[in-house]
A and B are shown apart, each in its own frame.
Chain A
């Protein structure tokens, strides 16, 4: 990794905790190769023609979205049917379960319990360790977009929000992204000091997962309230500004080899990817003149949902497994 990418990597970690991405301002902030491409793209008329051509012929794909939705629904239904049909493959709920006997425990739930209870038994440790390794391999916040049931509902609510926004009936009220870090700390402290797993009581992920497995309850009203808030007031507010689970898995994603890679070369900087992205701050690098290298990996707050990969008309955003591309 070049020094520029190292600096960017550190910057992206800060971005995950809520800071705004830094713009490369000095010439030495951008590698010569990337500078060359930036310069070439400046006011190049051929490029504009090419862009219009690409736009006209771009196909809208839903490849990754469909794969992801299928995975998410399958994973959640596996829980449901393990209990409902008594096939016992994946017993429990998203907070803690057993996959053919192996303990799996959600990292954020485990953290809350450890902080509140202050006594850790072996099974809890084993389950947490297994899940930690799993999500390090799979990409940290991959959990959010590929497994979390609230993510799917919020995605649908987002569609309604975007439609209403287009009709100028609602506007997206943005918030300060540092709020999520503040929530993470508050909930950790609440667990530690009160001895109750306060966050678990309102976690829409846990509530939805249990509702899918053990039947609906009044707790779903809270999930509904969040969705209504997101439709009419603030786009994807829970996932963007509040959910501590996202931050916990985001931290795991720092060391994960699975990520989205950006290639500066073919990008027309139209920003379609940023429009569909749950966490557009991770895609700051696609803005004209921002990429510090010819290839830039996207930061740990990315949920690896693949919407940008589907949307990009030029194939400038792709999935990458660090290290594997060298083998191929």
Chain B
């Protein structure tokens, strides 16, 4: 009688070589797991280290909700007539592939007349109506639907927007030509600037290059002149600290934060900037 008859059949012994192979396989598997998860989680780094807000297309949910709901398909990019919307790259981490607007390069001038990017969004990242359960930051809401100057005479002159993308702010008043009482003549942003805009007196349906539309103004008011929203910005007389009277662009509550003023500002760097995700403070 051998031992085998008494005991239950033992599992066949695993050779040392086989055991080593198995162990290596486990190690490799752990390595790959670590690599992929490391890459995935490194996407959080830009969120942790940078608090700079991107200017998002019209109707974007708050940043956290926006990033969770955006499916990164770029349909908003495709419908924009002035190519204002770009997709973020790797440096945005979790935001890779999400749409943003660099207003200085190409602002949203609403030449689509109807915030088409919102219509194109399949997941509600850009939306006409914020879902009821998402709290709204005070000052983010527009008091009234913005009136688009380009279609002021249409039966329906408003844009379907209930919230602002940001607010324009005169960050460098010392550089502002209006404050200095200077005029402006020539191509704003130079002859090789690629930015486009719709000029109602040129063609309502076709945006043209800003470089093809030179200006000649005795007192610079480009930001006011080209602002697409009614009542969002005006040139006002203000008093300087020394008591002298000056002209200055002043931003008002209807400002939606589209960034056209930032794009057309002729000084470098721009005197007026749109603060992304900024709310209206009275």
Contacts and interface: CB of A to CB of B under 8 A. Distances in A.
A49 to B, nearest CB: 36
Interface stretch (B69-77, B101-109, B172-180, B181-189): B69-77
Contacts of B36: 183, 202, 242
Nearest to A210: B97
B123 interface: yes
A197 B96 contact: no
B94 A176 contact: no
Most chain B beta-carbon neighbours within 10 Å: one of A117, A179, A217: A117
B122 A123 contact: yes
A210 B72 contact: yes
Contacts of A183: 33, 36
A201 B91 CA distance: 11
A95 interface: yes
Interface size class of chain A, counting residues whose CB lies under 8 Å from the partner chain: 35 or more
B68 interface: yes
A29 to B, nearest CB: 20
Contact of B93 (A92, A117, A175, A201): A201
Given A83-B78, A123-B124, A198 B39 contact: no
B73 A113 contact: no
A109 interface: yes
B97 A200 contact: yes
Contact of A179 (B33, B78, B91): B33
Interface stretch (A6-14, A37-45, A55-63, A96-104): A96-104
Contacts of A113: 68-71, 123
B29 A196 contact: no
A190 B72 CA distance: 18
A92 B68 contact: no
Given A96-B122, A218-B89, A218-B90, A207 B75 contact: no
A67 to B, nearest CB: 27
A201 B43 contact: yes
Contacts of B124: 119, 121, 123-124
Question: Which secondary structure dominates chain A's binding surface?
Answer: helix
Interface in A156-198: 173-176, 179, 182-183, 186-187, 190, 194-198
Nearest to B75: A92
A199 B90 contact: no
A223 to B, nearest CB: 11
Interface string B14-52: 000000000011101100110111011101100100000
Interface string B57-81: 0000000110111111111011100
A173 B31 CA distance: 12
A98 B69 CA distance: 18
A229 B41 CA distance: 19
A147 B73 CA distance: 16
B39 A222 contact: yes
B96 to A, nearest CB: 5
A202 B72 CA distance: 12
Contacts of B133: 119
Contacts of B235: none
A190 B39 contact: no
B87 interface: yes
B96 A92 contact: no
A328 interface: no
Contacts of A202: 36, 39-40, 43
A116 interface: yes
Contacts of B39: 202, 222
Contact of B71 (A109, A176, A198, A201): A109
B131 interface: yes
B73 A93 contact: yes
A242 B35 CA distance: 11
Nearest to B24: A173
A207 B96 contact: yes
B89 to A, nearest CB: 4
Nearest to A116: B68
B32 A98 contact: no
Nearest to B41: A198
B29 A241 contact: yes
B71 A175 contact: no
Contacts of A109: 71-72
A60 to B, nearest CB: 33
Nearest to A191: B68
Contact of B87 (A196, A210, A221): A210
Interface in A62-116: 82-83, 91-93, 95-98, 103, 105-106, 109-110, 113, 116
Contact of A96 (B29, B73, B79, B91): B73
A213 interface: yes
A97 B123 contact: no
A19 interface: no
A142 interface: no
B25 A175 contact: yes
Contacts of B97: 95, 200-201, 206-207, 210, 219
B94 A196 contact: yes
Contacts of B65: 117
Contacts of B41: 198
A242 B41 CA distance: 15
Contacts of B32: 175, 179, 234, 237, 241-242
Nearest to B97: A210
A217 B95 CA distance: 13
Contact of B73 (A82, A97, A218, A237): A97
